[in-house]
Structure 1
């Protein structure tokens, strides 16, 4: 075959067959992309012709006189012990064409899949946890593998504060395996402490925040953030009242505390005219 012009496009070379300066036909010789785990070399050639292979990086002949079928396809399987490395340059050539015809490609690395997602997740106590939220698996060769993810381990217990791990695994079609570890922290709610029951006499000064303190494992002292969400105390009227306190930490965990305030009536003992509570306790702040 006499070739007049060559043109290249990617891993393909096109040859224009000529006779007496007239174009007769256009033929192609190509080599498909190859990965380092590939066991075959495939591509297109001129039907009825033969192709040969050369690993120019390893300087090894890979195949001799590999036939091209009637549809223009060829395929060569690596022999036992043969291997390809990423970065190797593989050349396919057809010496039956005048001047030779060749195409080349570089062996690509067959990469392991990648798992991505939130590496650290914070949950409030008893909060619902979607173990697959934000987790995805992608493979360069196989595409999206998210639906093939496996959960190897999941120790999360949202009823107990602490640090837990979830381990994910995915395997691609070439048996490359990837794992991903996600840390899940179940936070601890704050704690409000104080006197649960306070007794005062009518019109006695009542300081609702006097004994109240709030602490949080992660945020520390939260006393300044304590709010009274209900304070019905009327110091001028006898009765039992419930004061409700609330504090919210930075993780939006809420804690509530109830304090019972009992307002009692003053009683005067005329034999010993000190003002006392109904409970019998002397109010030593008052004089006779």
Structure 2
């Protein structure tokens, strides 16, 4: 029996895709061809959480994102989408995890309970997962960019500001691309030095000149992603593993490639984004500028 860290990927992907449905243990056992007597123990050992706690955390993670970013959704809609029968049971579960109600979370979110508890695949990245790196030419791209500077724990406030700017300027993800520029590693960078840019490409259909960006209350500015060759890797799955995968490209692919880095940070394109799609269906293109 295969008991490596990727053993329960099919089960986790199934759970992520069916968070709005009742998830029966018998069905989950069938996916891995295990009896329930072994499933619980192995899932906990491999994923790091008991299966029902994992399901609860994934539902709450999606719900928390919907509460904070999707103001057009009512708490009732979010509760039903998370698999709860009513808002009362949803609010109790939400408060037991975040120590605040969904309404309070909307005003002042704290993501720490999620980031500390969800451990799925945090140590599953393998060297084999960077064998699909390709070298591609990236065309010079003008972007409208908002720089987040400071603690990664407050990144959500910058993301929300940028979302509001995109809506006002008709540059939503369905109409233009979404980029993040990763200036440094949040795990090793002092909070006061951390920077993370949220951006979209500027097209003729939305913004056509720098003047459109000179003054705006959101802090969005005109920048540019320069042309040049990049090492590119497409990744499908949760952001929980993204940092580790990027580190693998730096630590393993780059030395083996013989390539040199250009003077521009690693950046990513959000091809499909959570929570617009399920976590396992999110698609991210990683770009490492090289020469």
TM-score by length of 2: 0.21
Instruction: Give the greater-gyration-radius structure (CA).
Output: 1
The answer to which structure has the higher helix fraction is 2
The answer to which structure has the higher strand fraction is 1
TM-score by length of 1: 0.21
